Structures are given as C-alpha cells and as structure tokens.
Amino acid sequence: MNLNTVLCELTALPSEVEWVEFKCNNQNPEEMGEYLSALANAAALLRKDRAYIVWGIEDVTHKVVGTSFKPRQTKKGNEELENWLGRLLQPRLDFRVHEFAHEGKPVVVFEVPAASHTPVRFSGEEFIRVGSYKKKLKDYPEKERALWAIFQKEDWSAQLLPGASLDDLDPEALVFARLEYAKKQPRLAAEAKQWDDRTFLNKAKLCVQGKVTRTAIILLGRSEAEHFLSPAIARVSWVLKGEGGVEKDYRHFGPPLILAVNQVFGLIRNLTYRYLPNASLFPTEVTQYDPWVIRETLHNSIAHEDYTQAGRINVVEEPDSLLFTNLGEFLPGSVEEVIRRDSPPDFYRNRSLAEAMVNLNMIDTIGSGIKRMFRVQRQRFFPMPDYDLKEPGRVKVRIIGKVLDEKYTRMLMARSDLELADVILLDKVQKGRPLTDEEFRSLKAKRLIEGRRPSVFVSAEVAAATESKADYIKKRAFDKAHYKKMVAAYLEKFGEAKREDVNKLLLGKLSDALNEKQKRVFVMNLLQEMRRERTIVPVGAQRGRGAKWGLHKPAAKESAEPNIMQSE
C-alpha cells in the first residue's frame, strides 16, 4: 500500500466522513482509544474494510500542516501507547501505525480495520461516529441494531471450514446428538432415524449442504479437529477450590463440547443439603444445585462465548457455589431486561451455534432459559442466580448452593403470590446489595421492606407472613434508639422543643408500615419513654400539646439511678 497515495485520496474527500478523522496534534490517549472504537464500528456499518485517523491534516481545509505527534515514542504511564491502546480494545483490534513524510511534513496514520463479529469497545464502552462526532453506541439504538444485523449475516459460528469433512466429527458425539434431537423434535423422531448423517447434520443446522461449519466442530468435532477453529479455541475448564480459594483439582475439555457438558457435570459434587436450624423449613433433603440449572448455565456460556478471543469457559466449584464465566458482552444489557421482556433478544453473537443447540436440546427456545433458571431457584427456595456484568467483555454467573437468610427463604415459602421481579429485588436485600432509587421506592410502596438505605430489612407484613417477627422487632428497637438520639441532638442544639417540633423532626423518617395516627402515637410514646429514662424533662408549667421538652440536667448530688416509678 502506497501511503502517500492513500493520504491523497483521503484529503480529496469533500468533507470529514464517518470513517476518517483528521487531527493536528491531539495526543489524548483516552480519546484515541474511543476514536479507534468509533471508527472500527463506523467502518463496519458503512461496509468499509477499514477506517483512518490521520494526524498532520487540518480538519476543515484538509491542508497538510504536519504533526509533532510521535506515537512510538509516546507512553501511557510506563506502557507504550500502542500496547496500552491494544490492551483496552475488545475484541483485539489489529490497527496499524504509520509514520511518514507527506509534502515534506511529518504525518501519522492509524489504519483501523472494521469491526467484524461484534462492536469494538474501548475500556468497556462501545463508540460510533455520527456525522463528524464521536458518540456512545448505546445512545443510538438504531445504529446498534443495524450493526448487529450486519454481524448476524456474517455469523462467525456459521462460517464453513475448507478442508473439514464429516470424518472430522466424533462418532459418539454424533450418536448423542441424534438422541437429543429426537427428544427435542418428537414428531420427527421416527423419520430422523432414517436420515443419513449428512441429512441429519443439515436438518439440525450443524452443516450447510453437507459442508462442516464452525458450529459443527465446536459441538461435535473430534478433539484433533480443533485446529480448524484456530486462532479461536473451544475449551471448558473445571476447577475445584477449597476453603480460602485454594485450588484442589482441575480438568480441561475441548470438542466435542456436547459431550464435555456431561463430563463437567459428573465432576461437580452436588451434595445433599440439609437445613438444620429448623427441621420444618425443609421437610425433605435437597441437592445443592438443580441439574437443569447447572446444564443451562454451562450451555448458555457455550452458546454466547466470544471464541475469537481465544479464552476458556470456566466452571469454578467452591464449597457453597458454582461460578461460570465466559468471554463476551452480555448482549441483552441486563438480567432485569431479560426478565422484564420475556422474549428473544434482538441479536445474538453466535446465531448458528445457538440455533443448533436449541435443535439438540441443549438450551431452551432462545431467550427463555435465563428466566426459567430464576423460577427454578425460586421454587427450590434458594438464592437467585448472580449475574456479574461489571467486568467489560466477560459474563460471570454464580449459582449459590445454600440458604443465605432463613427469613428470605421463609418468605418464598409463604408468599407464592410475589412477582418474580420482586423476589429478585428481595434477593438483593438478603445479599446486602444496594437498591436503586426506583427499586427502593417500589419495594417500599409494596411494604416489602423497611429501614433506611443501606440498612434495609424485611417489613412488618412480610415478617408476619414468614414468622420472623422477633427479627423485625429487634431491628425496630434499633430504630427507636436512633430516634432518641435525634431528639437529644435537637434539644442539645435548640434547648427546648414542643411536641409539634418533635413531630416535624421524626414523622417523615418513620416506617411507611405505620399510618399517620400510629406515627404520632409512636412519637408520644417515645417522648414518655425518654422522660421515664430521665433523658428529657418538661420545661415550664405548660401541659398538653403546648408543653415543651428540654434535656435533663442532673444536680451534682442527684442519685445516678433514675426513679422510674416517679409519677408523671
């Protein structure tokens, strides 16, 4: 490629286009990374094979002015700029840096390949060009949908593999696949027995006209056929950890992954769980994990793994939980969105692979498996699955195999009328997770929780339904001490207060489980209790609603023990 010729073509463009960015000396590393993401995604959207960032060209006139930017001499911290940018771009972007002279002036060109199978992120965020501006892709859903529509047409998992044949598929995996297909498609079971392998593989969407796809190698390929996926890999690793996170054992599995799932499942110690504190809570013994939930979580990891990143799917077994991780963004955005919509997502990372896995009875109809996992955990009275999406480009799912909060479990048993969305939010409460303002208001309005954030607990109504009144009263006692401190602090500052002053101080802070009359009675009783405790005393001779209160200041010779029988 003649760089001077390319530069002449770029500067001849009538105006700055969405796949070219001109700069003079802007050297902000974070902005460079965002532009690399935006231009790679814009190039894919515009069906360009590459995009460019050019330093040394005036933005408006396209005049060559030269630049002082020297990328190979620039560092971000102690790291070379090019390495730093490459590390924060996901998936890895093979951009090229060119430094040369044009018309006798120094010029720098970043040659940026178009995004291929998924939007390019920088530091966990996806960007796009809108006209001559760099914007976050999530703020332009129509562009995001259009971009994914292009990627789906170029589905990585659907690509044919030259040189691969049906002989590269594992015979045992093929037999197992036929059995599972018959379970999923019972009306075709008799007919499917008559199909030859080529016909079956075409029907199950594993092959196209008898030609082997990446999907076929991932699910049914012989172990020695994995090289057809290179540089991508398809691996599942099981790791056993003991107390303190000490690694005790591990195994690695490659294709055929349809058989690897049962091999991993056979290694997991799904122990019998007995709930000891209260025998009536669990009248029968249960296993720590539901087998369907384990398989569904692992199958989802296989279906949605970004194989081009050459990473492994991990299953980490800890004493009381299983942690599943896979590479790739969680495309629906949030678990709450999946539960709320209860419909297939708009786009998929590996559509061909996901469809084949549905046909082979590995995952539910696309999009419904996650919600069913939550329902199964609820029916077993166990904590909800934990989806951790904080790390860019990685999905973590933890399945907990024990009761965390007896009160929450009792609530599930007693309140079968609760919506799944409310159960998920109450699960956050039992785990001590923060609630958003909207979530907090929703649970408060339904009287499912009480308290002030971050100290939120189950409300009186749920406590009564779950026979956890003692725990509720204990927490309310803590609140009473808090309110007494508030009254004392007010009197310390202002010297005295009427009953209405105290009402204004406390009424808005009391539990919504109390009505207005109950709140006022609570304040009256609180003041009388503080008087009996000799914390406050009446001020002046006034009685009734006009009475004032002040802090009690004991005389020097007064007994330290208050006379709690003193008449009021």
Give the Cα separation of 347 and 394 in Å (integer). 18
User: Are 376 and 498 within one domain?
Assistant: no
Q: Which of 57-61, 514-518, 549-553 has the highest mean pLDDT?
A: 549-553
Give the Cα separation of 164 and 53 in Å (integer). 39
- Is 60 exceeded by the pLDDT of residue 467? no
**Which of 209, 229, 249 is a domain's end point?**
229
Query: Within a domain: residue 456?
Result: no
Closest CA to 388 of 332, 325, 437, 468: 325
User: Are 135 and 174 within one domain?
Assistant: no
User: Are 278 and 301 within one domain?
Assistant: yes
User: Are 140 and 171 within one domain?
Assistant: no
Provide the mean pLDDT of the chain: 85
The pLDDT tens digits of the residues spanning 103-127 come to 899 999 999 999 987 889 998 889 9
Please give the pLDDT value at position 556. 53
> Is the peptide bond between 91 and the residue preceding it cis, with omega within 30 degrees of 0?
yes
Closest CA to 404 of 277, 538, 490, 495: 277
User: Are 208 and 246 within one domain?
Assistant: no
Give the Cα separation of 232 and 221 in Å (integer). 14
For residues 178-189, average pLDDT: 94
Give the Cα separation of 304 and 350 in Å (integer). 6
Give the Cα separation of 482 and 476 in Å (integer). 10
List the CATH number of the domain containing 366: 3.30.565.60
Q: Which has the minimum average pLDDT: 47-61, 312-326, 537-551? A: 537-551
The pLDDT tens digits of the residues spanning 342-395 come to 656 656 789 899 999 999 999 876 557 888 899 999 988 899 999 998 887 789
User: Are 380 and 332 within one domain?
Assistant: yes
User: Are 281 and 365 within one domain?
Assistant: yes
Please give the pLDDT value at position 275. 58
Cβ–Cβ under 8 Å, residues 431 and 358: no
**Which of residues 406 and 284 earns the better pLDDT score?**
406
Please give the pLDDT value at position 566. 34
Q: What is the percent of the chain where pLDDT is above 70?
A: 87
Please give the pLDDT value at position 557. 47
> Which helix (H) or strand (E) element contains residue 408?
helix 406-414
User: Are 401 and 521 within one domain?
Assistant: no
Please give the pLDDT value at position 375. 92
Our CA dihedral for 481, 484, 485, 489, rounded to 10 degrees, sits at 180
Query: Within a domain: residue 522?
Result: yes
Distances (CA, A) of 97 to 50, 83, 89, 430: 13, 12, 15, 51
> Which helix (H) or strand (E) element contains residue 171?
helix 171-184
**Which of 186, 212, 229 is a domain's end point?**
229
**Which of residues 154 and 204 earns the better pLDDT score?**
204
Give the Cα separation of 565 and 125 in Å (integer). 68
DSSP 269: -
- Is 50 exceeded by the pLDDT of residue 563? no
User: Are 212 and 251 within one domain?
Assistant: no
Residue type, 559: S
Query: Within a domain: residue 458?
Result: no
User: Are 391 and 476 within one domain?
Assistant: no
Q: Output helix, strand, coil percentages for the chain, rounded to the nearest 5.
A: 45, 20, 35
What angle do the packed helices 437-445 and 420-430 form, to 10 degrees? 110
For residues 7-29, average pLDDT: 84
Distances (CA, A) of 142 to 19, 155, 379: 18, 20, 39
Give the Cα separation of 511 and 455 in Å (integer). 13
| Alpha helices for 164-239 (secondary structure H) | 171-184, 189-192, 197-203, 214-220
List the CATH number of the domain containing 20: 3.30.950.30
Name the pLDDT band for 276 (thresholds 50, 70, 90): very low
- 438: its two tokens: 């909207």
Query: Which pairing describes strands 236-241 and 313-318: parallel, antiparallel, or unpaired?
Result: parallel
Place of tokens 């000891």: 276
Give the Cα separation of 148 and 44 in Å (integer). 10
Give the Cα separation of 226 and 212 in Å (integer). 13
Please give the pLDDT value at position 476. 60
Mapped onto helix, strand or coil, the DSSP state of residue 405 is: coil
User: Are 291 and 388 within one domain?
Assistant: yes
Domain count, the chain: 4
Query: Within a domain: residue 223?
Result: yes
Q: How many helices and strands, by DSSP H and E, does the chain display?
A: 20, 25
List the CATH number of the domain containing 492: 1.10.10.10
Please give the pLDDT value at position 342. 63
The pLDDT tens digits of the residues spanning 194-209 come to 999 999 999 999 999 9
Give the Cα separation of 305 and 232 in Å (integer). 11
Please give the pLDDT value at position 536. 93
For residues 516-521, average pLDDT: 83
Query: Within a domain: residue 558?
Result: no
**Which of residues 335 and 256 earns the better pLDDT score?**
256
Please give the pLDDT value at position 281. 52
> Model pTM?
0.65
CB-side exposure of 410: number of CA atoms within 13 Å?
19
Place of tokens 């609570």: 522
Place of tokens 């047409």: 153
Query: Within a domain: residue 251?
Result: yes
Residues 6 or more apart whose CB falls under 8 angstroms from that of 478 comprise: none
Query: Within a domain: residue 564?
Result: no
For residues 160-185, average pLDDT: 96
Query: Within a domain: residue 432?
Result: no
- Is 50 exceeded by the pLDDT of residue 239? yes
**Which of 98, 113, 145 is a domain's end point?**
145
Domain that holds residue 366: 236-348+359-425
User: Are 405 and 490 within one domain?
Assistant: no
- Is 60 exceeded by the pLDDT of residue 464? no
